[in-house]
Chains A and B, each alone.
Chain A
Amino acid sequence: MIALGQFLEVLIGGLMSGVLYSLVALGFVLIFKASGVFNFAQGAMVLLAGLALVRSLDLLVANGFPLWVAIVLGIGFAAVIMATTAWLIERFVIGPLINQDALTLFMSTIGVTFVLEGAAEMIFGSDVYPLRLFPTDAWFVFEGLFPGGILINKLDVWGALIAGILVAGLAIFFQRTKTGRALRAVADDHLAAHSVGIPISWIWFVVWLVAGLVALVAATVWGTKLGVQFSITFLALKALPVLIIGGLTSIPGAIAGGLIVGAGEKLAEVYLGPSIGGGIEYWFGYVLALTVLLVRPQGLFGERIIERI
């Protein structure tokens, strides 16, 4: 039973951390769906949101505000920062690059990444800032079934809950609101949407804003887990295989991809790692993504790619 207990513990831990990857991958999907831009800057946006939140929080608490007021104001401030960023990106980078090919747009978001990383660290500082929004202690379940029980991190549970709420919220937003419908129209066909009177630059601003807010949510969870620091930008690279497995255009796909990558890499690390040298978490997600792509070139949930001449 110990082996099974350990297996379940690794599996659950992996699934939970996979959900946290999904939080970052969601931002990618939103922007790709609506504008066809592969947004490499998502990791930098998480860093920016996290830094804005944690620094304003520290400042407010130091000035004697009660904690809950500080949290509300801090989140509000970070949201304003993300809105400004979204507007600037749409106005100065994505707007002028309309109708360029995907590679150019992708490279321009790498340029945006540099700017965001530099600006975020220059304005808010470049140390490691601890963030304490969620409990981080461990939690033991099924102690009756397995000796010692199964260790679950409470933060991961919070992360999973938040991701669930976020996906439900986004689904409602996309399916039930007028803006959401306009977003789907733009995603389907820019030109047609434009010609029926949907303001494209406004829609793109909304998309980058939503992606920014998703980044903020990701920052609260990841910031609590790792502390807000520069290395949080590498999350973008962790989220890529998640994205590819799920399909670039599917929101549920991002979650499913996260679960697969999270569970896969943790299990591989524990059961394969010792025999081939450890640290395989580093690339396992990518190899998994490559394998999935060979079977389904558009990812598990992506829209079927139809080729015409």
Chain B
Amino acid sequence: MLYREVGQFKTTYAEDMAIFPIRQDRIALAILLGIAFIGVPVLASFHIWPFGSEYLLWAILLPFLILALAAIGTNILVGYCGQISLGSGAFMAIGAYSAYKLATGVHVPLTSHGFAISIPPLPVLVSILLGGFMAAGVGILFGIPSLRIKGLYLAVATLAAQFFFDWVFLRVPWFTNYAPSGSVNAPELNFFGVVVRTPIERYLLCLIFVTVIAVLAKNLVRGNLGRQWMAIRDMDIAAELIGIRPLYAKLTAFAVSSFIIGVAGALWAFVYLGSWEPLAFSIDRSLELLFMVIIGGLGSIMGPFVGAAFILIVPIMLNVLPTQLGVPLSTETITHLQFIIFGSLICYLLIKEPHGFARLISIGKEKLRLWPFPY
């Protein structure tokens, strides 16, 4: 009785085409955003349970938001456009390092030509967004092979991006401003006078980014472009025959996806890590993002949030649980057990629900429509 669209009459085209046409969805979203934007900061600033320490905010909510953002980016490419990518970690790295270079000032000495290109340090917000655009540019470049290569071959081809950029950021000292250890520190997070320092401020910053980009993405995938992507995903030749340009559709998917992943990478480096090495964006990160997308649900914007929560929280639970229960195990055994349980859980989920949590959510909605009379 709670969730049904009966009686919600649409009298204008605008209402009919709203992002969230069902009133209950809007209410649920408003409650969720209310909790996220007001509830969590208020609880955290008064240290009310479960925010007694900063652990929950720092170690769970902050990485959750940023990785969910990156997973949305991955989902646009993999879930909506059907181009399997194992290079998401590299695009996060490109976002992070471009933002770092722009925020600390770019200086390219062209000694052979007798002059140098210098860009003064840019504001942090501009750097993060430009980092995203940088990633989008590289994304388009590495998206070009997708016009010829398909499926799993493309997946391995995107690994080329992953390994190449791992190497570039490790070996080319220009990107790390010649830091001797190869690790770089994020600049002060100064947003036009507002300095973000405490975990609560960092959380709110990421939340704003995630909300804005998620809404934009949700809007994009239901429009013309999103439908082109989905047509390409479902059957690219048929899509081409009905007049969708694969070049345009695929490359825009690569660009949008890489932009979002790049922004997420910049946030991951600047807001969460603070100081980082290329290892933070290795192939493991790419696989992790792909897991989030698949477990959350391919082709959905809500799914990556659930997937990110799952992938992030399960290992933490597996870490905490044995000590909580008082099981005497060596740390090594616990690590190995974690591997086994995590792997089996992934296989189990894939077997039980190959379409991810997003599918479970929509099944739940269907059930709610009929509840409590299942006729």
Contact = CB atoms under 8 A, between A and B. Distances in A.
B84 interface: yes
A166 interface: no
Contact of A118 (B78, B160, B238, B340): B340
A106 B294 CA distance: 11
A294 B336 contact: no
A244 B157 contact: yes
Contacts of A115: 339-340, 343-344, 347
B238 A286 contact: no
Contact of A293 (B145, B170, B235): B145
Contacts, number: 133
A278 B335 CA distance: 34
A38 B151 CA distance: 11
Contacts of A107: 290-291, 294, 346, 350
B17 interface: no
B152 A102 contact: yes
Contact of B354 (A97, A112, A119, A121): A97
B154 to A, nearest CB: 8
B61 interface: no
Query: B160, B235, B290, B336 — which one has the most chain A CB atoms within 10 A of its CB?
Result: B160
A259 B112 CA distance: 40
A19 interface: no
B225 interface: no
Given A108-B350, A111-B347, A290-B145, A297 B340 contact: no
Query: B84, B149, B294, B347 — which one has the most chain A CB atoms within 10 A of its CB?
Result: B347
A112 B343 CA distance: 6
Interface size class of B (residues with CB under 8 A): 35 or more
Interface stretch (B4-12, B63-71, B161-169, B266-274): B161-169
A121 B159 CA distance: 27
Nearest to A247: B153
A151 to B, nearest CB: 27
Contacts of B342: 114
A196 interface: no
A248 B339 CA distance: 28
B350 A289 contact: no
Interface stretch (A75-83, A155-163, A235-243): A235-243
Contacts of A248: 152-153
A199 interface: no
A100 interface: yes
Contacts of B319: none
A62 interface: no
A197 interface: no
A101 to B, nearest CB: 8
A250 to B, nearest CB: 13
B167 A297 contact: no
Contacts of B350: 97, 100, 104, 107-108, 111
A287 B166 CA distance: 13
Interface in B307-353: 332-333, 335-340, 342-347, 350-351
B220 interface: no
Contacts of A1: none
A93 interface: yes
B9 to A, nearest CB: 40
Given A104-B294, A277-B171, A290-B157, A114 B149 contact: no
Interface string A74-99: 00000000000000000011001100
A119 B337 CA distance: 8
Contact of A119 (B167, B290, B340): B340
B156 interface: yes
A122 B337 contact: yes
26 contacts: A38-B152, A93-B351, A97-B350, A97-B351, A104-B350, A107-B350, A110-B346, A111-B347, A114-B342, A114-B343, A115-B339, A116-B343, A119-B336, A122-B336, A240-B156, A244-B156, A280-B167, A286-B157, A286-B159, A286-B163, A289-B157, A289-B160, A294-B148, A294-B149, A297-B148, A297-B149
Given A110-B346, A244-B156, 15 more contacts: A104-B354, A106-B152, A107-B294, A111-B343, A111-B347, A114-B339, A114-B343, A114-B346, A277-B172, A279-B171, A283-B167, A286-B160, A289-B160, A297-B148, A309-B241
List the 5 shortest-distance A-B pairs measured between CB atoms, nearest first. Answer: A118-B339, A114-B343, A111-B346, A115-B343, A286-B160
Interface of B: 78, 84, 145, 148-153, 155-157, 159-160, 163-164, 166-167, 170-172, 235, 237-238, 241, 283, 287, 290-291, 294, 298, 332-333, 335-340, 342-347, 350-351, 354
